[in-house]
Structure 1
Amino acid sequence: MSQYFEIHPENPQARLIQQSVQIIRKSGVVVYPTDSGYAIGCQIGDKAAADRICQIREIDKEHNFTLMCRDLSELATYARVDNDAFRLLKNNTPGPYTFILKGTKEVPKRLLNPKRKTIGIRVPTNRIAMALLEELNEPLMSTSLILGEGMLAESDPEEIRDKLEKLVDLIIDGGHKGEEPTTVVDLSEGAPTIRREGSGDVEPFDF
């Protein structure tokens, strides 16, 4: 059975955030709220936990995993960013976007897209997500919590509990969230390409 923490969406309780990060550091898989639906994540270097996420999400190694980062300085450690890409990132983060970029050597190879050597990077606005990242002091390996054949992110923590309480270690209830996942913007080849239109406005990338 998973732990189930109800965390205040505007003023996350420090004690529960600390307990959540302790679970993550002990190879835990966590479901947590973001600014566009719920995500499922684990510690960046934890292969066993990442494998569990792949099983739950029914995804393979071709999937573009996302590193949830605190800010742009952390992002630059894990992704190669040229001047044009940095301007786009600076103007549109934090927010409901996932950016696909070429990964650096700091990213475990198994998290990179095997053909393109890319990784998804995201800086959220959700206060619970940000509190987790601050306490963890490193990015959280994540993917949107989209189950089965669905196209929408899970948004109801009680429904998530019914579906996943025996499969994950922690579910953080941060209230109901929108179902629309992030807009995915591919910056790995220079000019931005929209890979998925979601909750983020695509107009800033329409060149």
Structure 2
Amino acid sequence: MAEIIKLHPVTPHVKRVFDIVDRLRAGEIMLFPSDTQHALGCDYTNKKGVDRIRNIRKLDSDHMFTLICDSLTGISKFANISTDNFKIIKRLIPGPYTFILPGTKEVPRLLLHPKRKTVGFRVPSHPICEQIIAELGHPLLATSAKAPDELVPDGDPQFTDELFRIFDHLVDIAIDDEQPLQTVESTIIDMTGDVPSIIRVGEGFERVEEVFALHDLDAALSES
């Protein structure tokens, strides 16, 4: 049964954050809020946690995980970023965006897309995420908290307590920021080609249009 840990959405209790990080390092997994929908997360260096998340979501080897970082500097350690893409990302973070980038040797092989050698990166605008990553000292591995089909016969949950019930016996920690359940998805930007392309239009897309226009990438939007 998951332990529900309440954290203030703006100023999370430091001792509770420390306790969560200690448990993540030990291989536990958590259900946590972000600036988009909830996610499942673990310490990416702990294979036990990674395997558990893969099993919960029934993910195959082609699934590309996301590393949640606290800054552009954090992304730069794990991704190869061109100068132009660096400038674009800098204008968009923190925010509801996932950037697909080629991974560096710092990224474990099991987290990379097996063919493209890419990984997703996010820097959410959410203090709880920021505090956990700061204490952990490196990115969180995450994937969206989509419940197994057999557990949601009536459709996706609309309230946080429903989500907690679904994942109660699947995760170790459920973080409750006492905010309404977010159901929006991030905007996904593929930065592995000559110019960035939009893979999914989601939250914050209007800002992407503005930033792309500043970098003369209007054509990239129309082609996506």
- The answer to whether TM tops 0.5 is yes
Structure 1 residues without counterparts, runs of 5 or longer: none
- TM-score by length of structure 2 reads 0.87
Question: Corresponding residue for 1:182?
Answer: 186
TM-score, normalised to structure 1's length?
A: 0.93
Residue range with higher mean Cα deviation, 157-166 or 68-77: 157-166
Matched position secondary structure for 1:146:
coil
Shift in Å at residue 156 of structure 1? 3.4
Distance (Å, rounded) in 2 between the aligned partners of 1:99 and 1:92? 10
Return the letter of the residue paired with 2:199: R
The residue number in structure 2 matching 1:129 is 129
Displacement after TM superposition at 1:177 (Å): 3.4
Question: Which residue number in structure 2 is paired with residue 160 of structure 1?
Answer: 163
Question: CA separation of 1:82/1:154 partners in 2, compared to 1, >3 Å: closer, same or farther?
Answer: farther
Question: How many residue pairs align between the two structures?
Answer: 206
Q: Deviations over 1:20-69 (max 9, x none)?
A: 11110110111111000111111111122111111212221211111000
> Counterparts in 2 of 1:52-67, with a 5 A limit?
52-67=52-67
1:99 and 1:154 map into 2 onto residues whose CA distance is 27
* Deviation, structure 1 residue 15: 1.4
User: For 1:59 and 1:3, how far apart are their aligned partners in 2?
Assistant: 25
Counterpart of 1:199? 203
Q: Counterpart in 2 of 1:92? A: 92
RMSD, aligned CA:
1.8
User: Contact 1:156–1:177 (CA<8 Å) still a contact in 2?
Assistant: yes
Asked whether the 8 Å contact 1:41–1:142 carries over to 2, the reply is yes
Between structure 1 and structure 2, the one with the greater Rg is 2
- Comparing both structures, which one devotes a greater share of its residues to helix? 2
Q: Secondary structure at the match of 1:163?
A: helix
Cα displacement string for residues 90-109 of structure 1 (whole angstroms, at most 9, x for unaligned residues) = 01011000000000000000
Shift of 1:155: 6.4
Deviation of 1:153 after TM superposition, in Å, equals 8.3
Cα distance in structure 1, aligned partners of 2:156 and 2:122: 16
Asked if 2 retains the 8 angstrom alpha-carbon contact of 1:37 and 1:153, the reply is no
1:30 lines up with 2:33 in the alignment: no
Matches within 5 A, 1:10-21: 10-21=10-21
Counterpart CA distance in 2 for 1:26 and 1:157 is 26
CA distance in 1, matches of 2:144, 2:204: 14
CA–CA distance in structure 1, aligned partners of residues 148 and 172 of structure 2 = 20
Contact 1:36 1:177 (C-alpha < 8 Å) held by counterparts: no
Q: What is the letter of the counterpart of residue 83 of structure 2?
A: N
In structure 2, what residue type is equivalent to 1:158?
D
CA distance in 1, matches of 2:128, 2:156: 17
The worse-fitting range, judged by mean Cα deviation, of 179-188 and 98-107 is 179-188
Structure 2: segments with no counterpart, 5+ residues: 213-217
Q: Distance in 2 between matches of 1:117 and 1:127?
A: 30
